[in-house]
């Protein structure tokens, strides 16, 4: 099953808030519901958010009663603004909305019906391409994993974070499918526990050996020499190689550098934002402090205690061994290699 897909005139997606306790699929009947699902993390993971936004735009067209192409185009501009506001950090969201608006504003549509068909066709293409791209990423990245290795992974970057297959966990999946025997350590990824809940659930389905770690334990295992490779995803990559990822990534990168462990970011080229020069330009989402103090409606501290909850941090490019893309592994200087990746050149 794909994380997000179109069926019978609605957008359907796996409710990631319910995993690992239940596998539930929700139906979304308008673009406002899609935006809400992105905001409340029913769907999360940069590529999955991008595909959801594409389907959200197709849904906005499908449910529109506009009588002219111009009316429909105006409505889609508004729907795009709603979807873009759902979460600020993942560039795939903005990329997908802009892509769909570009389709919507092409000249030559004879009627709203033709525009609606074009948007749904494009959304399906975005979803299908995501799966193919992830499989190519996995093929490039799995060469870094050797039999007997222990790999550290942070957050969730598997099938749930994409349309299917995954990015960093896709590399792990590809290595497993290649017959390699290795072990994975999964950071919990507080406060929403994407590693403990989602990545562990995915590796259970695949039959990959794993252990969940407290977020504070990664350095312990690095210092003991047990971790041979670190793989993480990204929500936005600047043109110089700085990248935003789930909170806690930066400290793992620093620890990996201190202990001489290769540290790779894994992401499709749609996650690269060539319009920004460095990570300083990436907006960082601050989420509800209740996710820290009362995760999943479980009070950890008195209700009046204060907390802060940044959802992402930025890792400077100097900590990277490379960025694994569908075109190969980009290496320093990233200003050059990422430019080649965006041009579709083999790295």
pLDDT digits (tens, 9 = 90+) for 206-231: 999 999 999 999 999 999 999 999 99
Indicate the pLDDT class of residue 1, thresholds 50, 70 and 90. Answer: confident
First to last CA, the chain: 32
pLDDT of residue 236: 95
In degrees to the nearest 10, what's the CA dihedral of 189, 192, 195, 201? 170
| 235 a catalytic residue | yes
Preceding peptide of 191 cis, ω within 30°: yes
| % of the chain with per-residue pLDDT over 70 | 100
Catalytic residue among 30, 130, 164, 235: 235
| H-helix or E-strand spanning residue 263 | strand 263-266
Q: Give the mean pLDDT of 100-123.
A: 96
CA distance 13 to 299: 29
Dig out the tokens for 252 from the structure.
């793992």
Give the domain 4-135 fold. 1.20.120
Q: Give the mean pLDDT of 287-298.
A: 94
pLDDT digits (tens, 9 = 90+) for 31-83: 999 999 999 999 999 999 999 999 999 999 999 999 999 999 999 999 999 99
Residue-range domain boundaries for the chain? 4-135, 143-342
Q: Give the mean pLDDT of 237-266.
A: 98
Residue 147: exposure state from Cβ atoms within 10 A (0-12, 13-18, ≥19): exposed
Q: Which CATH superfamily is domain 143-342 in?
A: Translation initiation factor eif-2b; domain 2 (3.40.50.10470)
* CB burial string 173-203: b at 16+ within 10 A, e below: bbbbeeeeebebbbbbbbbbbbbbbbbbbbb
CA distance 108 to 297: 52
CB proximity list for 58: less than 8 A, separation 6 or greater: 6, 100, 116, 119, 120, 122, 123
Q: What is the pTM of this model?
A: 0.93
- Nearest in space to 243 (alpha carbons), one of 317, 337, 329: 317
Indicate the pLDDT class of residue 126, thresholds 50, 70 and 90. Answer: very high
- Nearest in space to 241 (alpha carbons), one of 168, 167, 323: 323
In degrees to the nearest 10, what's the CA dihedral of 64, 69, 73, 76? 20
pLDDT digits (tens, 9 = 90+) for 150-180: 999 999 999 999 999 999 999 999 999 999 9
Angle at 261 between CA 254 and CA 220, to 5 degrees: 70
């Amino acid at each position: 099953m794909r994380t997000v897909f179109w069926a019978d005139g609605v957008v359907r997606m796996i409710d990631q808030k319910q995993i690992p306790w239940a596998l539930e699929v929700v139906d979304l009947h308008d673009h406002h519901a899609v935006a809400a699902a992105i905001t409340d993390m029913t769907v999360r993971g940069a590529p999955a958010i991008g595909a959801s936004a594409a389907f959200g735009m197709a849904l906005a067209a499908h449910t529109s009663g506009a009588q002219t192409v111009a009316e429909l185009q105006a409505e889609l501009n508004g729907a795009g603004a709603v979807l873009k506001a759902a979460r600020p950090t993942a560039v795939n969201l903005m990329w997908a909305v802009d892509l769909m608006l570009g389709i919507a504003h092409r000249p030559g549509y004879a009627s709203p019906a033709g525009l609606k068909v074009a948007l749904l066709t494009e959304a399906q293409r975005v979803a299908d391409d995501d799966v193919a791209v992830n499989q190519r990423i996995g093929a490039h990245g799995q060469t870094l994993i050797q039999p007997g290795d222990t790999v550290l992974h942070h957050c969730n970057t598997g099938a749930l974070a994409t349309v299917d297959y995954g990015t960093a966990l896709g590399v792990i999946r590809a290595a497993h499918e290649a017959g390699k025997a290795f072990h994975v350590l999964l950071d919990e990824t507080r406060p929403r526990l994407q590693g403990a809940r989602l990545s562990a659930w995915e590796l259970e389905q695949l039959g990959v050996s794993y252990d969940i770690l407290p977020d504070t334990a990664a350095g312990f295992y690095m210092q003991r020499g047990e971790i041979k490779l670190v793989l993480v995803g990204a929500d936005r990559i600047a043109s110089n190689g700085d990248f935003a990822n789930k909170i806690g990534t930066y400290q793992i990168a620093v620890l990996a550098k201190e202990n001489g462990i290769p540290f790779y970011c894994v992401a499709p080229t749609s996650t690269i934002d060539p319009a920004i020069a460095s990570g300083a330009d990436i907006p960082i989402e601050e989420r509800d402090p209740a996710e820290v103090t009362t995760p999943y409606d479980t009070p950890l501290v008195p209700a009046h205690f204060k907390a802060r909850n940044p959802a992402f941090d930025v890792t400077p490019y100097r900590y990277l061994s490379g960025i694994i893309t569908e075109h190969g592994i980009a290496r320093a200087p990233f200003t050059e290699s990422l430019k080649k990746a965006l041009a579709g050149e083999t790295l």
